Structure formats: C-alpha cells, structure tokens
C-alpha cells in the first residue's frame, strides 16, 4: 500500500511557477541580462518594474514587454545614487503596492587593471555599482517581505566573483556581493525569504561587450571560444533569465544561500 507521504511525493505536478501577479523589481533592466530576467518573469505572469539610466532604452524595453502582454512599468534612475534607490522603491510601491521579488542585476567593471594605478575614486565607484546599490535597495524591500513571510532576492554576480578574472575592482566587489548574499540568506530564512546568487559567465547580447567584440574581432573571439567555452558558444541572455525566473518561483522553495554558475562550464573552480 502506498503511504500518504508517497502519494504526496509522487503525484504529478504541472510546472506552474506560481509567479502570476507577483511584483518583481529588476535593476539594470533596460537591456541585456536584466531585461532577459524581466521578460522571463513577465511571461510567467509577474508584474515587473524596470529601471535604468538611459531613458530611450528604457522606453524601448517597456514597449517590448507591453507588446508581449506583460504588465510592466519603468523609471529612469542611477542605482549608485542613494536618493535614486529610494525613488525606485517609492515608484514601485505607488505602482504595485508591494515587492515580492528583487533581482539585483546592476553591475560592471570600473577602473584600471593595475593595482598601483587604481584610485580611491575608482574603488568607490566600483563598490557603489556592484555592491552598495544592492545593499540599499535590499534594505528597503526586506521588511515587507518578512511581514508577508514570502520573498525572493536574487543577486547577479559573476564567475569572477568566485575565481580569478576580470579587473581587480570588479572581482573584489562581486566576491563581496556573494558574501553579502550568503549572510543575508541565513538571516532571512526564518521568514521564508530566499536569497541566492547567480554567477554568469560570458554571455553575448545586443549592445553588450561580448557582442561588440564578436562584431569587431570574429577571429579573436573564435579562439576565445575554443580555449574558454566548453559548449563552443557564448551564453544567451534568455538562458540566464529563465534560470533566475525559476529561482524566483514557488518551485524553488528549498533553495536559499546558494550560488549558481550559469556559464556553460567556463568556470575552472571546483566550488
């Protein structure tokens, strides 16, 4: 006789991600990886809040989402500015009244590759971009997630936050982001607020750095792919977006405090 527990464990469940009408903020979402995350969430029924520094790119992104039947709003801000982070949060609350999901995607490389030539200003700008903007926005959304006993926070890091690579400021700030995410996950676990990090490898998308290099130096990029990318190609932004969407869903209810490489085997690290 099959026990009740076995019946529960083995019953067939449709892969409904449970995201309909959830409200998601995605930073740096006017293009690239952030837009891919917003699109995947929106196609699963989430209501998404976009932000970016370029107003025209933001309008184009919103139009794309609306044309696909996605509920989305957007605001032009600079995530490195504390007052703009508050504007984003207030805008979201005015638009949708709550925040269920936060995708901290903004990031980038700043400064010289040589330690001796790095200025305090370059260190500060890199940390503002890759770490402090995330901390400030997360601090704003956490209280209501705790009150509702549900939330998802996903930080987009980099494989170079786990192993050597990229510029010194980038690697350092992304490693700090990973540590922040891990510690936060332990504090929020009792409130069913799940916190994880996703580490992309080399992903090409229109307007991105890798796509520019592919266009300008196809032979050099062919060699790079051969030597560094086991799958023989760059990643696609939707591949990361779909994984982030899953982590944000009801189906990822046992996953917190974890870091995932989405890199097609590019990373050389064991852990």
Q: Give the model's pLDDT for residue 13.
A: 54
Under 8 Å between Cβ of 238 and 36: yes
Under 8 Å between Cβ of 61 and 31: yes
**How far apart, in whole angstroms, are the C-alpha atoms of residue 33 and residue 43?**
15
Q: Quote the domain boundaries for residue 248.
A: 15-205+236-262
Under 8 Å between Cβ of 85 and 136: yes
The number of angstroms, rounded, from the C-alpha of 252 to the middle of its chain's C-alpha atoms is 16
The secondary structure of residue 21, as a DSSP letter, is: T
The secondary structure of residue 259, as a DSSP letter, is: E
Q: Read off the CATH number of the domain in which 28 is found.
A: 3.40.50.720
- Flag whether 29 is in a domain: yes
- Flag whether 160 is in a domain: yes
Bridge partner list, 103: 26, 154
- Flag whether 82 is in a domain: yes
User: Catalytic residue numbers?
Assistant: 170
pTM above 0.85, yes or no: yes
Q: Give the model's pLDDT for residue 9.
A: 46
- Flag whether 256 is in a domain: yes
Place of tokens 């990029």: 221
Indicate if the alpha-carbon torsion angle 84, 85, 86, 88 is positive or negative.
Answer: positive
pLDDT tens by residue, 16-67: 999 999 999 999 999 999 999 999 999 999 999 999 999 999 999 999 999 9
- Flag whether 231 is in a domain: no
Split into its structural domains, the chain has a count of 1
- Flag whether 5 is in a domain: no
Q: Which token pair is 155?
A: 């930080």
Under 8 Å between Cβ of 52 and 80: no
pLDDT tens by residue, 124-152: 999 999 999 999 999 999 999 999 999 99
Of the pLDDT bands very low, low, confident and very high (cuts 50, 70, 90), residue 119 is very high
- Flag whether 227 is in a domain: no
Q: Give the model's pLDDT for residue 239.
A: 97
- Flag whether 269 is in a domain: no
């Amino acid at each position: 006789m099959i026990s009740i527990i076995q019946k529960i464990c083995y019953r067939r469940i449709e892969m409904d991600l449970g995201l309909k009408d959830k409200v998601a903020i995605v930073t740096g979402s006017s293009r690239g990886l952030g837009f891919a995350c917003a699109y995947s969430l929106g196609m699963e029924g989430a209501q998404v809040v976009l932000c970016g520094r370029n107003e025209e790119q933001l309008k184009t992104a919103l139009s794309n989402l609306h044309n696909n039947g996605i509920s989305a709003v957007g605001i032009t801000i600079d995530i490195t500015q504390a007052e703009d982070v508050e504007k984003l949060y207030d805008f979201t609350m005015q638009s949708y009244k709550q925040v269920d999901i936060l995708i901290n995607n903004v990031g980038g490389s700043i400064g010289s590759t040589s330690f001796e030539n790095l200025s305090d200003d370059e260190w500060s700008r890199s940390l503002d971009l890759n770490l402090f903007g995330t901390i400030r926005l997360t601090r704003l959304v956490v209280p209501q997630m705790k009150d509702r006993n549900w939330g998802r926070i996903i930080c987009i890091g980099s494989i170079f936050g786990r192993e050597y690579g990229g510029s010194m400021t980038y690697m350092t700030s992304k490693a700090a982001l990973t540590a922040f995410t891990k510690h936060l996950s332990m504090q929020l676990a009792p409130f069913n607020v799940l916190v994880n990090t996703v580490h992309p490898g080399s992903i090409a998308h229109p307007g991105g750095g890798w796509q520019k290099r592919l266009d300008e130096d196809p032979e050099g990029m062919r060699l790079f792919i051969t030597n560094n990318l086991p799958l023989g190609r760059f990643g696609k932004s939707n591949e990361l977006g779909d994984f982030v969407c899953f982590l944000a869903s009801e189906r990822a209810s046992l996953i917190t405090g974890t870091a995932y490489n989405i890199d097609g085997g590019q990373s050389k690290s064991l852990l």
